[in-house]
Structure 1
Amino acid sequence: MKEALVIGGTRFIGRHTVEELLAHDYRVTVFNRGEHENPFADDGDVHHYEGDRTNDRELLTAKREVEPEIVIDCVAYQPRDVRKATEIFADVDAYVYVSSGASYAVDDIPKREGVTPLRKCSADQAVDDSRETYGNRKAEGDRAVFRAAERGAPAMAVRPTVVYGPHDYSERLDYWLHRVHEYDEVVVPGDGTNVWQRAYVEDVASALRIVAEEGTPGEAYNVGDQNALTLEDTVRLAAEKLETDVELVHASDRELSTAGLSLGSFPLYRPSPHLLDTHKLEALGWESTPVEEAMARTVREHLDADRTGRSEGPSREDEETVIGILDTI
């Protein structure tokens, strides 16, 4: 039985990664600060090592005590985190960094590993923690992985696009699930055809395991649903799995502005298509969960949770203002 260390591991991607590793006969240790509820607290198969991943000594001590064969790094948000981790874990079998599709600099369709350029990252951006520099920092983390592999470290990167699924604390999809479940009419920005490819969280977890087992050091691997839905199709699929009917009300930027809104006010809206090529990962034996099944699992967990996504999009009052205006046209 192999030893796995998951840095992070209790909230979303990390939580599913722990479950994926357990299902494939790994002994798992979670390394984090213990600031969030641990869903594995009563699971004797999951050990917890409390520490701060930005503290190099604590991370090194955890490495020496756990002696992991693979390391999955879910919470490296600054390039320094990746540089130090690739040094500390230079002699494990595999170190896998959770990067992001946001690391790509241009809107190629689709974006391909090793072909589509990555974002640049200035010294100031590298130590920032704002949403605006997220992609820059993830791209610089990728470059740290590549440099570490050149030195002989077993470092690899996995780039998911927007991740969704059970226990998603971002609540971006929960906004739409809640609206569809509660109301008969829902405003969809624009004509609903915008495409922002998503990645089902269990598929991200399986990708991390597969890359750790089969990946090549110094390589990056994209992850995303093999069937990318438009926003309108996403909302319609959500209604189907919620077993409800909903009328989609399309609104332009001009119409939305009457309520102080814009197209970008809505979660999962993106003005240009965002698609990742996943053939490289598929060549390792990875498969994507059908979106219908992924949505059904996501809906089931949403109904048992208390997430509404209200803070991620327009208020219902503003939405009803737009609907009322459109009804008069």
Structure 2
Amino acid sequence: MRAHIHALALLALMAGALGFQIPLTMKAPGAGKKVLIIGGTRFSGLYLFKELHDRGYDITLFNRGKTANRPVPGESAESYAERIGQATFVKGDRTNPDDLAALAKAHEFDIIYDMNGREKTDTQPLADAYNGRVDHFVYMSSAGVYLKSDLMPHKETDPVDPKSRHKGKFETETYLAEKGLPFTSIRPTYIYGPQNYNPLEEYFFHRVVAGRAVAVPGHGQHLTGLGHVKDLATAMAQVIGREQAKGQVYNVQHPQAITFDGAVRLAAKAAGKDPESVKIVHYDPKEYDFGKKKAFPMRPQHFFTSVEKAMRDLDWMPAYGNTEGWQDSFDQDYALRTHEPDFECDEVVLAGKKK
């Protein structure tokens, strides 16, 4: 869009030199399109809200109102006020039939984004209420649905794990397909970025900033897929208007996976530390008892996907490399907050307190 604006500006200058004027206005790609976002205030939904607003869509947010609206890091106060002022906010609980019925009775939408449905029962009432009434239904799924495999990266056609804690996501995808909704499902791997409420990159930042050894399960060479939340938002926005995306699922992450040890060094670099000076301690998680605590933020296995399909069908290209993305998360979030890190699990490993 910026390129179009720059081209129009150049044409205007040329026209002025010739003594006539042309208008410097262009219709935003989302003008006139009504979008419903279920959620939209915590993390990925927040960034999607801003991305769609910037593209000119008429946005309605439906949520419980428990998380206050807030600007995206780097967003000016003026831009934030404009975004909030132009959106519609409907307070309600998606699990309450009366709230959902009231929404469906009062509002029509062209596109729906379901950002927080975990089980089929979460999404089914919404999908049923708007079946036949929307052009596109976009569902936030997870790459966690895939069955562990010897063949990597995971592709969208790979088998799913019926025992996965994310099985509700796949069951929802199946339901949307069976009901014939014009749906698209997005399967991200590990998403990070400023305001991430999951302690993903924070785990590594805590330890390198404190000058501590970093406990890493396994041999440290497990490859994992990371994706910046802004890149996720653009991928989801790119779905709109693409007939070829209907009935499809798409993996989303940065095309290049990274090892666990590499993530440690990435965090050190973002924090201004010498990556080679950080001590990494590898351990076998089966030999330790951490109780109910999660000792490491990522699964100790290879976990990354191919994003060729999304890049091709959605005309999408991630803007953040892994290095630039973690730097952004550190500068725009971690470095601006106070922290109370918990190193209890680390101490168990570093002290060699095996079962």
Give the TM-score category using the shorter length. Answer: 0.7 to 0.9
1:267 maps to: 296
2:261 maps to: 232
* Aligned mates of 1:213, 1:309 — CA distance in 2: 44
* Aligned mates of 2:283, 2:296 — CA distance in 1: 15
Contact 1:96 1:155 in 2 (8 A): yes
Question: 1:271, CA displacement in angstroms?
Answer: 3.1
Between the aligned residues of both structures, percent identity stands at 27
Alignment of 1:1-329 (within 5 A): 1=31, 2-39=33-70, 43-90=84-131, 91-107=133-149, 108-113=151-156, 115-120=157-162, 134-149=165-180, 153-214=181-242, 215-245=244-274, 246-253=277-284, 257=287, 260=289, 266-283=295-312, 284-288=314-318, 289-300=320-331, 301-306=333-338, 310=342, 314-315=344-345, 317-318=347-348, 320-322=350-352
- Matched position secondary structure for 2:245: coil
Instruction: Give the TM-score of the pair, scaled to structure 1.
Output: 0.83
Contact 1:175 1:308 in 2 (8 A): no
Question: 1:81, CA displacement in angstroms?
Answer: 2.2
* Aligned mates of 1:82, 1:260 — CA distance in 2: 37
Structure 2 alignment gaps of length 5 or more: 1-30, 72-79
* Aligned mates of 1:146, 1:44 — CA distance in 2: 36
* TM-aligned CA distance change 1:8 to 1:299, over 3 Å: same
- Matched position secondary structure for 2:118: coil
Question: 1:160, CA displacement in angstroms?
Answer: 0.7
Contact 2:265 2:278 in 1 (8 A): no
- Matched position secondary structure for 1:276: coil
Which sits farther off after the overlay, 39-48 or 187-196? 39-48
Aligned residue pairs: how many?
304
* Aligned mates of 1:76, 1:209 — CA distance in 2: 18
Question: 1:230, CA displacement in angstroms?
Answer: 0.6
* Aligned mates of 2:220, 2:117 — CA distance in 1: 34
Which sits farther off after the overlay, 82-91 or 160-169? 82-91
Structure 1 alignment gaps of length 5 or more: 122-132
* Aligned mates of 1:213, 1:295 — CA distance in 2: 31
Question: 1:197, CA displacement in angstroms?
Answer: 1.4
Counterpart of 2:264 in structure 1: which amino acid? V
List per-residue Cα deviations over 1:146-190 (Å, max 9, x = no partner). 1122xxx22121111121111111112211111111114323333
Counterpart of 1:318 in structure 2: which amino acid? V
**Structure having the higher Rg:** 2
Instruction: Give the TM-score of the pair, scaled to structure 2.
Output: 0.78
